[in-house]
Amino acid sequence: MSLDVLTKAGASEVLAPRRKWSLTWLLPVGLLVGFATILAVLFGDRLIPATEVEVAPVVTVRAGEGEVVEVGGQMLFQASGWVEPDPYTTYVPSLINGIVSEVYVLEGQRVEKGQLLATLIDDDQKLALQAATQKVDSMEKMIHAHCQGVPILEAQIAASQKKIAAGKSLLDQEKDNLKRLEGLGGDAVSVQSVVQARFAVTRNEALVAQAEAELPELAAKIEQINAERESMQASLLELKVKEAQAKLALERTKISSPIDGVVLHLHVAPGKKRMLNMDDAKSSVIVELYDPEQLQARIDVPLNEAAGLSVGQRVEMVSDLFAQKVFIGEVTRLSGQADLQRNTLQAKVAIKNPDARLRPDMLVRAKFYSPEGGGAEVVSTGGRLSLYVPEGALVDEDEVWVVGSDGKAELRDVELGNAKRDGHVQVLRGVKSGEKVILPPHAVLNEGLKLKF
């Protein structure tokens, strides 16, 4: 093949290139579609035509002095509070000063009455009890030895009485002898014999008197021993009291639970000291206990709602820990003083159906109800808030059209009260303060309809 042929063939290929398709036109089309989508999402509702309606706000009115408000059997207000032991926490202290030796419980643990909670080091108390017991034993032996003199003295008294009896018998004999000698008279008996007989009588009388004089002395010694014994027994009682104190101090080194309950707070650990009579109120406390079957809630009620509080009032409470459980309560007492900073009054609400998992200081939300049985109640303090809607906004007396948060029509069921004001009727449930209700005509309305007002 010649050079000219090749040159012509190459030139023909350059002059007639192959045709290719381009996709660059898709970029502006995609941008237009994206912008159209964004505009539809952001402003689509504005492009939809809205139905013009006439609306009226839900009116909030504070009840006046002595005004009759329909609250019977209905929820009056809600308030928040915290769970706590009912009526108070049980503090278990150490009744003596000491150092903690062992701790047998932990926080949250369930304990029984009489269960050992902790012990203190008891070496000093054991020695003190041993010394007190020894002193008691010594005094008892001393009293026993001292009183052994009584039988001896009683034996001496018995001997003296026998001696007196013998002396009196001999004295009678000598007197009889003297009488006989004096009766003979004259020269039948010598004067010396009569004098000797008289001396014998006198001597025997003296011996009898001496023996009789010993009896009071011996009796006095017995009385002295008895008096000394009473004194020693009084000292023995003092020593026994000290022994009992030492024994009690030893027993108090073992701290036991006074109730069946749960450990709320643990204040000790091994090696920690517990002291009485300190400035710190909890310096001697071992643990704090509470009965899980006896719980209450302390509810801070705003003062503008406190007019509806009363002892015995029914309360329902819920907690975040128990999503599906409602705790039934009853107001047991009201605080004697309001909280100035929070502008609240505290109410104590006994929980009738506590759960074992419920713990003090858990947050609860409480609903306070009026007394069961319905009927009107006179609110004399002027503190209760009531909601009113125009009577014309009602549909079939138990429904009302409301402007929803998205600006669309929403049909709601409502519960009405008996109170009426200036063409408005009281609503107990179904609407909120500040919401807007739709006035007639209602025939053109339906759920989800876009509104203009």
CATH assignment of the domain containing 361:
2.40.30.170
Dihedral of CA atoms 259, 261, 264, 266 in degrees, nearest 10, equals 60
Residue 106's CATH number? 2.40.50.100
| Distance (Å, whole) CA 434 – CA 55 | 12
**Residue 206 falls within a domain, yes or no?**
yes
Residue 306 lies in a domain: yes
Considering the domain boundaries, does residue 4 fall inside one?
A: no
pLDDT band for 372, please (50, 70, 90 cuts): low
User: How far is Cα 412 from Cα 431, in angstroms, rounded to an integer?
Assistant: 8
pLDDT at 3: 45
User: Average pLDDT in the 119-129 region?
Assistant: 93
Please check the confidence at residue 8 and state whether its pLDDT lies above 80: no
Across the range 353-372, mean pLDDT stands at: 87
Q: Is the model more confident about 7 or about 62? A: 62
Residue pair 313/369 in contact by the 8 Å Cβ criterion: yes
Q: How do residues 219-242 score in pLDDT, each as one tens digit? A: 878 788 888 888 888 888 999 999
Start-end of H helices in 16-89: 26-47
Range with the lowest mean pLDDT among 10-14, 75-79, 257-261, 275-279? 10-14
Last-in-domain residue among 343, 369, 395: 369
Amino acid at 366: A
Within this chain, do residues 132 and 230 fall inside the same structural domain, yes or no? yes
For residue 58, give the nearest of 450, 387, 417 by alpha carbon. Answer: 387
Residues 114 and 199 in one domain: no
Classify residue 186 by its DSSP letter.
T
Q: What is the mean pLDDT of residues 10-29?
A: 58
Instruction: Tell me the per-residue pLDDT of 158-171, one tens digit each, with 9 for 90 and over.
Output: 777 777 777 777 87
Same domain, 327 and 308: yes
397: left (phi over 0), alpha (psi -120 to 50) or beta: left
CB 392 within 8 A of CB 440: yes
From 341, 369, 397, the end of a domain falls on: 369
- Residue 171 lies inside a defined structural domain of this protein: yes
The pLDDT value recorded for residue 346 is 93
Say if residue 234 is in the same domain as residue 262.
no
361 contact partners, CB below 8 Å, separation of at least 6: 82, 83, 84
Nearest-angstrom CA–CA distance, 243 and 235: 12
Q: Which of 450, 453, 440 is nearest to 409 (CA)?
A: 450
- In a shared domain, residues 356 and 262: no
| Omega cis (within 30) before 87 | yes
* Confidence bin at 383 (pLDDT 50/70/90): very low
Higher-confidence residue: 377 or 386? 386
Q: Does a structural domain hold residue 440?
A: yes
Beta strands 451-452; 51-52: pairing state: parallel
E strand map for 104-252? 110-111, 116-120
Residue 25 belongs to a domain: no
Amino acid identity, position 375: G
Instruction: Tell whether 156 is covered by a domain.
Output: yes
Domain that holds residue 258: 90-121+253-288
Given a cut of 50, whether residue 378 has pLDDT beyond it is no
User: Which amino acid makes up residue 23?
Assistant: L
Both 200 and 304 in one domain: the answer is no
When pLDDT is averaged across residues 63-74 and rounded to a whole number, the result is 49
Mean confidence (pLDDT) of the chain: 81
Domain boundary among 272, 288, 304: 288
Question: In terms of domains, do 193 and 148 share one?
Answer: yes
Chain segment 277-319, per-residue pLDDT in tens: 888 888 999 999 999 999 999 999 998 888 888 899 999 999 8
The structural domain count of the chain equals 4
User: What average pLDDT does range 326-333 have in this prediction?
Assistant: 92
Task: Look up residue 133 and give its amino acid.
Answer: T
Task: Return the sign of the alpha-carbon dihedral for residues 354, 358, 359, 362.
Answer: negative
Q: Are 151 and 216 members of one domain?
A: yes
- Whether residue 20 lies inside any domain: the answer is no
Q: Quote the CA–CA distance of 82 and 112 in Å, as a whole number.
A: 26
3-state secondary structure of 296: strand
CB of 125 closer than 8 Å to CB of 149: no
pLDDT-derived band at 89 (thresholds 50, 70, 90) equals: very high
Question: With 70 as the cut, is the pLDDT of residue 334 above it?
Answer: yes
422 shares a domain with 324: no
153 and 214 both lie in a single domain? yes
Q: Are 255 and 119 in contact (CB under 8 A)?
A: yes
Q: 315 with 419, same domain?
A: no
pTM: 0.55
**pLDDT value of position 384:** 55
pLDDT at position 14 is: 47
Query: Is the pLDDT confidence value at 21 over 70?
Result: no
Between CA 262 and CA 247 the distance in angstroms is: 29
CA distance linking residue 439 with residue 403, whole number of Å: 11
pLDDT tens readout for residues 27-61: 777 777 777 777 666 655 555 667 888 888 888 77
**CATH code for position 162:** 1.10.287.620
**271 and 231 share one domain:** no
The pLDDT assigned to 291 comes to: 93
How high is the pLDDT of residue 101? 93
Q: Would you state the pLDDT for residue 122? A: 92
